[in-house]
A and B are shown apart, each in its own frame.
Chain A
Amino acid sequence: MSTASGDGKTARRRDGTWAGDVHFLHPTRTFRLPPPAARMRMGGVLQQAIQLLASLVALFPLWFMVWTAIRSQKDYFRSPLGWPQGIQWDNFTRAFDENIGRWVLNSAIVTGGAVLLVTLISVPAAYAFVRLPFKGSAILLKIFVFLMVIPPIVMLLPLFSLMNALGRVNHVDSVIVAYAGLMFPFSVFMMTRYIETIPSDLYEAAFVEGASHVRILSSIVVPLIVPALLTLGIVNALWAWNELLIAVVMLQREESRTLQAGLALLKGKNTMDIPLVMAGATISAIPLLLLYLFGQRVFMSGLMAGAVKE
């Protein structure tokens, strides 16, 4: 205990938090690091070494990807880790020749469409579960949440047959609906938990004025849950942007593929041209990395909220 109180830099702020505290947006609470006295010094060399090693292991594939994307094929095979002999931007132009621009657009459409659709469906449903409970609604919600554990491979074959019969294979709308469906269990669960935290006093005035439930949802609930909608949107967008299995099955024509499906097949096609594939992978990772870098707080809270889905 005395070790931590010895350092005078950490000061308690007026609102009771400590300098250096980290706050996370979370549906139900603000996370706060324990006061410094409880956070004993872990100055040990071993601990620092483990963290440094873990960071290197976490970042290495990413670094390797960029390192490879900027060199020529010959240069890569000479020595994968060696210093590049001149930077070769050509790989990126060639990646765009392989339709990657189109795939980025498809991924954006699929991700945006699915996130929008699942939000429009799960928010009213969550509102109904909280404000309009009926006989069996608790069980229905449990069933919805349980669907989270069913792996997509189970639904994939019938879904493919169905979409094939409807002529929707190779069209992004089939994937948008499938993604929205797969994101729905978690979305309705998170939204229900969040809407439950809104104090009922806030509804009373609206009730007095005779506002309908649609009106209450759109003008009272939605403005209150904007942070949660943002968090949910990020969790869902991350999942949709990175999904592979459904995209590979449903989007078979080259120009209809999403980025992940396109990349996986590009890799299969160009087993020797590793710098080209790495350039494609880099292009695919950049939007998310930029978002992560600049929207770190929202991302962190999104990851943590996504994580606490017991």
Chain B
Amino acid sequence: MVANEQGPSLAIRRSLTTVSRGARAPHRTRGTGWQAFLFLVPALLLVGLIFIYPVYSLVRMSLFQSLGIMSLYVGFDNYQVVLSDPLFLASIRNNLVLMACVPIMIVVALVLALLLFEQRKAAPLYRFILFTPYIISITVSGIAFSAMLTKNGALNQMLDAARLGFLRQDWLGDPKIALLSVGAVIIWREAVLGVILFVARLLSLSTEPLEAAMVDGATRWRAHWSVTLPQMRGIIGFYAITSVITVAVWTFSYVFVMTNGGPGNATMTADLYIYQNAFTVAQMNLAASAATLVLIAAIGVVAVSALLPRLRRTS
């Protein structure tokens, strides 16, 4: 029973203390490490094939330049070319602009999740409706949005009908606002993930602190603000990190379907830049160095997010 305190991973040992010696002996002598390895072989092969080899190969690719069938080692030259490419810098800038979506997504998701939580009779219906953007693929909703956002599309028609015709825009065709329109569509879908996360967390919270605050005379929103929100800090942080990674390196489907980086390069993003360099311009080595930079950025975001709470605790 003592072994039980050391965590579930030692559950086997616990079973051994309660079972007669003769019965367990064969399991012990066989050696668990060897068996664990057998169980893990397919997983290790898969991870090696899909993650380890590609990352190794990517870094290698980024340091070479192919000339026909030959490859020439060029050191960091590809990185230099990519980092001085105005298009790459523009796409990084666009990804940074899209980061402005993250706080909006958090607020929208929090409000909707709290409303869902407080809603009584119609909660299942609203939940069903609000989750649909996450069920539908980005491709499908991107296709619908790109038709709705054209000059003579549904949105402008609605604005006219509401006598707001002066707000008419060529939402995806005007370089000045195309990126914002893409951002709005990203919010439309990705905020739903926040609602799902926050509702799941809300439903797992104890209601007692909230009730106590209400007894003390706090209004319900005040009680949520000072009692519920602090308990949600962890999940909000998790959602924020996930969303930052999404808008930084995971925007391909949105821009590929809606704008393909246009008009001009107004909505070019880092992953679309890599895709185009690799598969339309056939500059694999340049694309590889850009992808390596993206990998470093993704690891950086995770590292910073892992370090932040520790820094706060020590200070």
**B275 contacts A61, CB within 8 Å?**
no
Is B101 an interface position by the 8 A CB rule? no
**A40 contacts B140, CB within 8 Å?**
no
**Which chain A residue lies CB-closest to B32?**
A132
- Which of B83-91, B174-182, B199-207, B307-315 contacts its partner? B199-207
**Residues in chain B near residue A264, CB distance under 8 A:** 139, 143, 256-257
**Residues in chain B near residue A186, CB distance under 8 A:** none
Is B232 an interface position by the 8 A CB rule? no
**Residues in chain A near residue B147, CB distance under 8 A:** 64, 68, 80, 274, 277-278
**B36 contacts A161, CB within 8 Å?**
no
Given A32-B203, A62-B144, A154-B55: A244 and B115 interface contact (C-beta under 8 Å): no
Q: Which of A284-310 contact B (CB under 8 A)?
A: 284-285, 288-289, 292, 296, 299-300, 303-304, 307-308, 310
Q: Which of A119-137 contact B (CB under 8 A)?
A: 120-122, 124-125, 127-135, 137
Given A22-B123, A42-B119, A125-B43: A153 and B252 interface contact (C-beta under 8 Å): yes
**Which chain A residue lies CB-closest to B111?**
A50
**Residues in chain A near residue B292, CB distance under 8 A:** 154
**B253 contacts A80, CB within 8 Å?**
no
**A281 contacts B140, CB within 8 Å?**
yes
Which of B20, B36, B61 is in CB contact (< 8 Å) with A157? B61
**Residues in chain B near residue A37, CB distance under 8 A:** 211
Report the interface size class on chain A. 35 or more
**B154 contacts A80, CB within 8 Å?**
yes
**Residues in chain A near residue B57, CB distance under 8 A:** 158, 161-162
Given A39-B120, A57-B188, A158-B57: A304 and B199 interface contact (C-beta under 8 Å): yes
**Which chain A residue lies CB-closest to B116?**
A51
Bound-state Cα–Cα, A226 to B275, Å: 39
**A267 contacts B143, CB within 8 Å?**
yes
Which of B133, B134, B140, B260 is in CB contact (< 8 Å) with A65? B140
Distance in Å from the Cβ of A18 to the closest Cβ of chain B? 11
Report the interface size class on chain B. 35 or more
**Residues in chain B near residue A180, CB distance under 8 A:** 46, 50
**B152 contacts A80, CB within 8 Å?**
yes
Bound-state Cα–Cα, A35 to B121, Å: 14
**Residues in chain A near residue B167, CB distance under 8 A:** none
Distance in Å from the Cβ of A118 to the closest Cβ of chain B? 8
Given A38-B210, A40-B118, A57-B188: A284 and B140 interface contact (C-beta under 8 Å): yes
Bound-state Cα–Cα, A288 to B141, Å: 13
**B141 contacts A155, CB within 8 Å?**
no
Bound-state Cα–Cα, A149 to B20, Å: 46
Q: Which of B6-22 contact A (CB under 8 A)?
A: 8-12, 14-16, 18-20
Bound-state Cα–Cα, A86 to B200, Å: 44
Q: Which positions in B face A, CB cutoff 8 Å?
A: 8-12, 14-16, 18-20, 23-24, 26-27, 32-33, 35-37, 39-40, 42-43, 46-47, 49-51, 53-55, 57-58, 61, 111-112, 115-124, 126-141, 143-148, 152-154, 157-158, 161, 188, 192-193, 196-197, 199-201, 203-204, 207, 210-211, 214-215, 220, 234-235, 238, 245, 249-250, 252-253, 256-257, 260, 271, 274-275, 278-279, 284, 287-288, 291-292, 294-295, 298-299, 301-302
26 A-B residue pairs with Cβ-Cβ distance under 8 Å, sorted by A, are: A20-B120, A58-B133, A64-B154, A80-B152, A120-B42, A125-B40, A132-B32, A144-B47, A149-B245, A150-B298, A153-B291, A153-B294, A154-B55, A154-B298, A155-B50, A156-B54, A157-B54, A157-B278, A159-B50, A188-B43, A204-B18, A210-B26, A244-B252, A248-B256, A281-B139, A292-B132
Q: Which positions in A face B, CB cutoff 8 Å?
A: 1, 20, 22, 24, 26, 29, 31-42, 47, 50-51, 54-55, 57-59, 61-62, 64-65, 68, 77, 79-81, 120-122, 124-125, 127-135, 137-138, 140, 144, 146-147, 149-151, 153-162, 177-178, 180-182, 184, 188, 196, 200, 203-204, 207-208, 210, 213, 238, 241-242, 244-245, 248-249, 260, 263-264, 267-268, 274, 277-278, 281, 284-285, 288-289, 292, 296, 299-300, 303-304, 307-308, 310
**6 tightest Cβ-Cβ pairs between the two chains A and B:** A181-B50, A242-B137, A34-B207, A158-B57, A200-B11, A128-B39
